[in-house]
Amino acid sequence: MKVCSLASSSKGNCTIIYNDNEILIVDMGITLKDLESKLELLRLDVDKTVGVLISHEHGDHTKGVGSLLKKYGIQVYCHYNSCDGVIKKTGLTRSQITRFSDVPFMVGSFKVATFPVSHDVFCVGFNIFENANKISI
């Protein structure tokens, strides 16, 4: 399991966790074009993406999620308590989002567990596991 921050600022946040077969995106606060070009630099294929996790509704975490879903059909995951805000910010529909609770779940070969993060809106962080490896974002 490898991790790479593609963007981290109030202008946009996007991190990828990946292995030889799959990519998991954490927050999509950059444009689809930016994502595609950064993955190309890393020699990673966007078609290997198994999902995108959204930590909260702010635009610097959701900016490109609608375009990503529209072009690639990649599943979007957000916490039940963030879902309405994400829908408002992105224009996605409830049926386009897989909602999760505080119970760990699988996205491809990655096990995802959440933890609360203090913010001005409901927000979660992620513990992501693959085999004996763990990354927290």
What is the pLDDT of the chain when averaged over all its residues?
96
Q: What are phi and psi of 51, to 5 degrees?
A: 170, 165
- The per-residue DSSP string of 4-57 comes to EEEEEETTEEEEEEE-SS-EEEE---S-HHHHHHHHHHTT--GGGEEEEEE--S
Q: CA 23, CA 2: separation in Å to the nearest integer?
A: 9
Band of residue 22 on the pLDDT scale cut at 50, 70, 90: very high
Residue-wise pLDDT for 41-91, tens only, equals 999 999 999 999 999 999 999 999 999 999 999 999 999 999 999 999 999
DSSP H or E stretch at residue 86:
helix 83-90
DSSP H or E stretch at residue 76:
strand 76-79
Q: Looking at the whole model, is its pTM more than 0.75?
A: yes
